[in-house]
A and B are shown apart, each in its own frame.
Chain A
Amino acid sequence: MSRIRPRLTRRQLVRRAALGAGALAVGTLRLPRAAQAANEVNFWASGTLDIGDDGWKIFANDSEVKVNFTDNGNDPGPVVAKLAAGNANDIYDVGGLQGGSEKELAKRGLIAPWDLAQIPNYSSVWEWAKNIPYLTFEGKVYGIPTVVNADSMIALRNRVGNVDSYGVIFDRKLRGKTAMEDAWINSVIFAAIYLKNSENAKISEPGDLAADELGLVMEFLIKHKKDRQFRTFWNGWEQALQLVANQEVWVMTGWEPIVYAARRRGLDCYYAVPKEGYEAWSNNTILLKGAVDRGLSKTAHQLANAFLSGFYGCKLGTLRGYVVPTDNNVAYAAAHASAFDPAAVKQLSEHVKAKLTGKVYWQNTRPANFQLYEEWWQRLRNA
């Protein structure tokens, strides 16, 4: 009878015993959960809204709100599912995600409206940010715009020169050298913007396509996919950055901070200024009903207020190049010139403002035909 594993038994036994003892100790230490402090908030948001442990520490000192940040994976699907059917309302207090789902979450009573009287800094928010349609429902504000930006394309200058139109993504000469994001939320808008403005397609609202308009745009994308125009579609930051940094792709639609990160690694990379316009988006802070039930409403409002008070915006700008839509950032940097470069903060702020007051089309996770969008995207996947 062969006995192959006795040696492994001893090794595993030793390892198992050590780990087991350690884990049991740790596990029992963590079982009785301390009651949540009155000024502690569990913030469940996209990683784009994170300022790191040291950032949150300073934030807590300034605002007297201690934030426990948990990454929600950035995909609105599982986030909404966890809110709708799962336990997100039991364990988190404030959420942060892409805009568009506020209406349905409000309708189902999963989020609570913000009381603007408790958020004095709200008045400093840029007007057009306040007016983003999906933030309000039945006259009440459910989403506080926390990060706004306008997206276009990332391009490698030494490969494609200076581009100013989304047409390059679909250019046959660049076959196999372009990419788009694997999400209809962004990619359909980009294609629609291009078709509307450069190929005079009959499209009225690129962010909210009618059924036939959607068919037009999707057939366009499907044709190019079948022609092997795209090297790939990307999901998430690290994938996108890797495509550019390794020159796997020469031009692609994507997020602006990728350009900053690529430049830091020595690439001659720039963010295109397309003549067809930008795609605007916002990540917003929402108040979960569970927090209100647990009596944390006041602290949550303090948190929202603190997001807009300046430090958070400066820190986020430095870390990622994202902008909180308020002028308080510039004021804060001016007052704390040792921590943040006031000129840089101002420049970033003006840059984003300029983009967003120019030609932009707003992203929306819930266009009128949103389920049709997904059906078409599925067909694109199968193509």
Chain B
Amino acid sequence: MPEALADRRRRAAFFLALPSLVVFIGIGFVPLALVAIWSLWSFDPDTYWIKSVWSLASYAALLKSGRADVLLQTAGLAALTATASTLLAVPAATVIGLLSGRRRATLLLALFTIPFFTSGLVRAFAWRLVLGREGIINNVLMSLGVVDTPVEWLLFSDFAVVLGMVAAHLPLAIIPIVLAFARIDSSVIRASQDLGAGFWTMFSSIVLPLIMPGVLAGFLFVFVVAIGTSMEIQLLGGAGASSIAIMINDVMRVVNFPLAFAIATVVTILLLVVIIVADRALELSRLFEDRGA
């Protein structure tokens, strides 16, 4: 019996996995392979295109002109945004998932989702008007007499970039955590209360571990979106601030396609490695496994 069950399970798993594998192999893998191959070819100065001469020149170019720094800085910025978003998202998601009735939970979720329906570009641009020299915040501060001259570092600074990015990506962190609350059974909460645990004990020893998959997913979502974005950095960052996406665009402007593809390949591989390492080190995939029957 157990073998037949395992067989059935394996077959079910295969068929269930088929659609996403078809998507990946069909439209995901081939472009990646093409990009990787092109990154190993050379720039042809005659046609300003690519010639099929194998070379690692593009990868070597990655180590010059501070390009590697851009990769690290963007990753650092994305990690900072993801951390800040997650730290803010956990309390917010707790309010929605643990401390609210159905009505308020729905309302809050809706409130957090609605800004996403407007254009991210326009929202990021609006931050310039909120944080600028003649923006709202400076106007309020000056009229209250807190400062004499407008605060300069509110805009075109790292502060503005992180603020803009967190504002743009917060729902990505909140919603997975809220969903994770669905697995918390009321009996567990009640049991902890019966045993005399206070709120904070219950929160740290019961709630947090159970919602960890949501926290992790939220962090991953924000990180992945933040590392590929360029809007907030371009609109709110200092003079000529860079990111991976901006660098790729710059390189494409000078038709150095092999280099652009090399950057993309390196980024993809590095991120895969980071995920694999994090998975092994923190046993992350266990978080998503079946709970014991």
A interface residue numbers (CB < 8 A to B):
1-8, 11, 75-78, 80-81, 84-85, 103-104, 107-108, 176, 179-180, 182, 225, 230-233, 235, 238-239, 242, 246-248, 365, 370-371, 373-382
Interface stretch (choices B62-70, B77-85, B268-276, B285-293): B62-70
- Let me know if A233 and B49 touch, CB within 8 A: no
With an 8 A cutoff between CB atoms, is B26 at the interface? no
B-chain residues with CB within 8 Å of residue A80 when the two chains form the complex = 252, 255
Known contacts: A107-B48, A382-B242. The answer to whether A81 contacts B250 by CB under 8 A is no
With an 8 A cutoff between CB atoms, is B166 at the interface? no
Mask: chain B, 47-89; 1 = CB below 8 Å from A; 0 = not: 1110000000000000011110110000000000000000000
With an 8 A cutoff between CB atoms, is B262 at the interface? no
Known contacts: A104-B47, A225-B239. The answer to whether A2 contacts B252 by CB under 8 A is no
A370 to B134 alpha-carbon distance, docked (Å): 38
- Let me know if B128 and A371 touch, CB within 8 A: no
Shortest distance in angstroms between A126's beta carbon and chain B's nearest beta carbon?
29
What is the chain A residue whose CB lies nearest that of B241? A381
A-chain residues with CB within 8 Å of residue B125 when the two chains form the complex = 238-239, 242
A378 to B66 alpha-carbon distance, docked (Å): 7
- In chain B, positions 122-162 with a C-beta closer than 8 Å to chain A are 125, 128-129, 132-135, 152, 155-156
- Let me know if B184 and A8 touch, CB within 8 A: no
What is the chain B residue whose CB lies nearest that of A105? B48
- Let me know if A239 and B235 touch, CB within 8 A: yes
Mask: chain B, 233-247; 1 = CB below 8 Å from A; 0 = not: 011011111100011
17 further interface pairs, Cβ-Cβ under 8 Å (given A246-B133, A378-B242): A1-B186, A2-B182, A3-B182, A6-B102, A7-B102, A11-B110, A84-B49, A104-B49, A107-B46, A107-B47, A232-B239, A239-B235, A248-B134, A371-B254, A377-B240, A381-B242, A382-B69
B interface residue numbers (CB < 8 A to A):
43, 46-49, 64-67, 69-70, 96-97, 102-103, 105-106, 109-110, 125, 128-129, 132-135, 152, 155-156, 178, 181-182, 184-186, 234-235, 237-242, 246-247, 249-257
A225 to B237 alpha-carbon distance, docked (Å): 13
Q: Which of A8, A75, A376 contacts B249 (CB 8 A)?
A: A75
Shortest distance in angstroms between B233's beta carbon and chain A's nearest beta carbon?
10
A4 to B96 alpha-carbon distance, docked (Å): 8
- Let me know if B178 and A232 touch, CB within 8 A: no
A-chain residues with CB within 8 Å of residue B132 when the two chains form the complex = 246, 248
Q: Which of B49, B66, B106, B182 contacts A8 (CB 8 A)?
A: B106
- Let me know if A382 and B239 touch, CB within 8 A: no
- Let me know if A242 and B186 touch, CB within 8 A: no
Q: Which of B65, B70, B110, B250 contacts A77 (CB 8 A)?
A: B250
Q: Which of B69, B133, B182 contacts A1 (CB 8 A)?
A: B182
Known contacts: A3-B182, A8-B106, A239-B235. The answer to whether A84 contacts B255 by CB under 8 A is yes
What is the chain A residue whose CB lies nearest that of B178? A4
B-chain residues with CB within 8 Å of residue A108 when the two chains form the complex = 47-49
- Let me know if B234 and A182 touch, CB within 8 A: yes
Shortest distance in angstroms between B213's beta carbon and chain A's nearest beta carbon?
16
- Let me know if A77 and B181 touch, CB within 8 A: no
- Let me know if A380 and B240 touch, CB within 8 A: yes
What is the chain B residue whose CB lies nearest that of A76? B253
Shortest distance in angstroms between B21's beta carbon and chain A's nearest beta carbon?
26
B-chain residues with CB within 8 Å of residue A239 when the two chains form the complex = 125, 128, 235
- Let me know if B65 and A375 touch, CB within 8 A: yes
B-chain residues with CB within 8 Å of residue A81 when the two chains form the complex = 252, 255, 257
B-chain residues with CB within 8 Å of residue A246 when the two chains form the complex = 128-129, 132-135
Q: Which of A7, A8, A104 contacts B48 (CB 8 A)?
A: A104
Q: Which of B70, B96, B105, B152 contacts A382 (CB 8 A)?
A: B70
What is the chain B residue whose CB lies nearest that of A370? B254
- Let me know if B239 and A230 touch, CB within 8 A: yes
A380 to B106 alpha-carbon distance, docked (Å): 48
Known contacts: A2-B97, A4-B178, A242-B129. The answer to whether A104 contacts B109 by CB under 8 A is no
Known contacts: A107-B48, A248-B132. The answer to whether A378 contacts B250 by CB under 8 A is yes
A81 to B253 alpha-carbon distance, docked (Å): 8
Shortest distance in angstroms between B20's beta carbon and chain A's nearest beta carbon?
22
- Let me know if B156 and A231 touch, CB within 8 A: yes
A-chain residues with CB within 8 Å of residue B242 when the two chains form the complex = 378, 381-382
Interface centre among B46, B129, B235 (most CB of A within 10 A): B235
- Let me know if B49 and A374 touch, CB within 8 A: no
- Let me know if A232 and B252 touch, CB within 8 A: no
Shortest distance in angstroms between B44's beta carbon and chain A's nearest beta carbon?
10
6 A–B contacts, CB within 8 A, in A order: A1-B186, A2-B186, A4-B182, A231-B156, A238-B125, A248-B132
A-chain residues with CB within 8 Å of residue B257 when the two chains form the complex = 81, 84-85
Shortest distance in angstroms between B105's beta carbon and chain A's nearest beta carbon?
5
- Let me know if A247 and B133 touch, CB within 8 A: yes
- Let me know if A1 and B234 touch, CB within 8 A: no
B-chain residues with CB within 8 Å of residue A180 when the two chains form the complex = 239
A-chain residues with CB within 8 Å of residue B181 when the two chains form the complex = 2, 4
What is the chain A residue whose CB lies nearest that of B113? A8
B-chain residues with CB within 8 Å of residue A103 when the two chains form the complex = 48
A233 to B239 alpha-carbon distance, docked (Å): 5
Q: Which of B109, B156, B249 contacts A78 (CB 8 A)?
A: B249
A103 to B46 alpha-carbon distance, docked (Å): 10
Interface centre among B46, B106, B242, B250 (most CB of A within 10 A): B250
- Let me know if B249 and A77 touch, CB within 8 A: yes
Known contacts: A231-B239, A246-B134. The answer to whether A374 contacts B254 by CB under 8 A is yes
A76 to B250 alpha-carbon distance, docked (Å): 10
- Let me know if A382 and B134 touch, CB within 8 A: no
What is the chain B residue whose CB lies nearest that of A6? B102
A-chain residues with CB within 8 Å of residue B106 when the two chains form the complex = 4-5, 7-8, 11
